[in-house]
């Protein structure tokens, strides 16, 4: 059962996952061992699944993002999914309902790379691509609620 302390702890970690347990404990007005125990419990329950840096892809040479909707050709669903997983420039992909089966976020160094990447999917799917102009909302937590 998650309570308001779990909510605050998770929100603090989302804002800065590099905080020490001592910093978290000070903010939550708890002891370090209590905070450590809560973190361990949240991890074991799968409520917190990892800690990762937030990357500015442009600093790594990816100046362009594209959202690619992929509709598998008949009999190609599994092969398409495998190709998506094997394409490292696809950094996120959701399997969705509707006409398209997948919506993928593709990182590119420039527009010329777009055709090169999409050509690898031609025999498996039809694609529809939108270039991302700006990230209006970055990944964030939804409103968290304590269980009653």
The answer to the question of residue 96 being in a domain is yes
Q: Is the pLDDT of residue 146 over 70?
A: yes
Residues 101 and 80 placed together within one structural domain of the fold = yes
Residues 41 and 63 placed together within one structural domain of the fold = no
Q: pLDDT (tens digit, 9 = 90+) per residue, 80-100?
A: 999 999 999 999 999 999 989
pTM above 0.85, yes or no: no
Residues 120 and 61 placed together within one structural domain of the fold = yes
The answer to the question of residue 141 being in a domain is no
Q: Up-side HSE of residue 70: CA atoms within 13 Å toward CB?
A: 32
- Segments of the chain assigned E as strands: 64-72, 90-95, 102-108, 125-131
Q: How many domains does the chain have?
A: 2
Range of the domain at 16: 4-45
The answer to the question of residue 112 being in a domain is yes
Residues 77 and 17 placed together within one structural domain of the fold = no
Q: pLDDT (tens digit, 9 = 90+) per residue, 69-81?
A: 999 999 999 999 9
pLDDT at 110: 95
């Amino acid at each position: 059962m998650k309570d308001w302390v779990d909510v605050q702890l998770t929100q603090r970690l989302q804002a800065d996952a590099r905080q020490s347990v001592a910093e978290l404990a000070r903010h939550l007005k708890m002891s370090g061992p209590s905070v450590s125990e809560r973190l361990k419990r949240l991890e074991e329950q799968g409520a917190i699944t990892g800690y990762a840096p937030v990357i500015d892809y442009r600093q790594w040479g990816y100046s362009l993002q594209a959202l690619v909707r992929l509709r598998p050709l008949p009999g190609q669903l599994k092969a398409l999914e495998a190709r998506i997983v094997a394409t490292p420039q696809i950094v996120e992909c959701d399997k969705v309902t509707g006409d398209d089966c997948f919506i993928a976020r593709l990182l590119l160094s420039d527009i010329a790379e777009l055709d090169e990447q999409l050509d690898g999917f031609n025999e498996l799917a039809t694609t529809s691509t939108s270039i991302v102009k700006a990230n209006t909302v970055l990944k964030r937590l939804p409103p968290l609620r304590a269980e009653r």
